[in-house]
Amino acid sequence: MPSHLPAIIPTGKRAARNTMQQQRGIWLHALLQHLTTHFPLPSGEGLRVGEQAANKNDLQHRLAIPSAEIEPLWQQAQHLLTSPQLARFFDAMQYRSASNEMPYVNARGELKRIDRLVEFDDEVWVLDYKLGGSEDAARYRAQMQEYRTAMQTVYAGKTVRCALLFADGVLSEV
């Protein structure tokens, strides 16, 4: 390269493609968001078989989930939504309000999203969905603390509790 030309300045990196595990997490988030928004069910109840099949097929196409992936993801979502231990977070009769993918601006001015925020009479729960195993909980402590700090200013009169909700149904309070 001739010495009179300026050096090439890197302009950034192309974002890496999602791994299959990350993509499964994205699809599971989307399924949970849709199912909790459009079909909030009383605890322990699922959709009737015909409704379930039609809804699953519709969501598979809308979310571009491959045929090989939809069944295990659907089963994980249904397991979480119908688990008696998690009913208070998904049964609309048990909470005051709930929001999915709730945006907020953190202390650094960055736009962030909370997977699910559930408000009860005396407390608020911030839930973050994770596809990995519950042994990974410590990795997310700083993220959950940021959520807690932000929501304590919004819900000043209530206790703010944060938890990771793993695809296997384990709820790990942080």
More confident residue, 46 or 31: 31
Asked if 99 and 82 sit in the same domain, the reply is no
What would the pLDDT profile of 56-92 be if each residue is shown by its tens digit? 999 999 999 999 999 999 999 999 999 999 999 999 9
Q: What is the pTM of this model?
A: 0.80
Rounded Cα gap, residues 76 and 61, in angstroms: 18
**What's the domain range around 118?**
95-173
Please list, in sequence order, all residues whose beta carbon lies within 8 angstroms of the beta carbon of residue 74, skipping any fewer than 6 positions away.
Answer: 31, 56
Of 34, 68, 86, the one marking the end of a domain is: 86
Inter-helix orientation angle 20-38/67-82, to 10°: 50
Strands 111-119 and 97-105, by their bridges, are antiparallel
Rounded Cα gap, residues 30 and 63, in angstroms: 8
Asked if 157 and 112 sit in the same domain, the reply is yes
Asked if 54 and 71 sit in the same domain, the reply is yes
Residue 12's pLDDT is 59
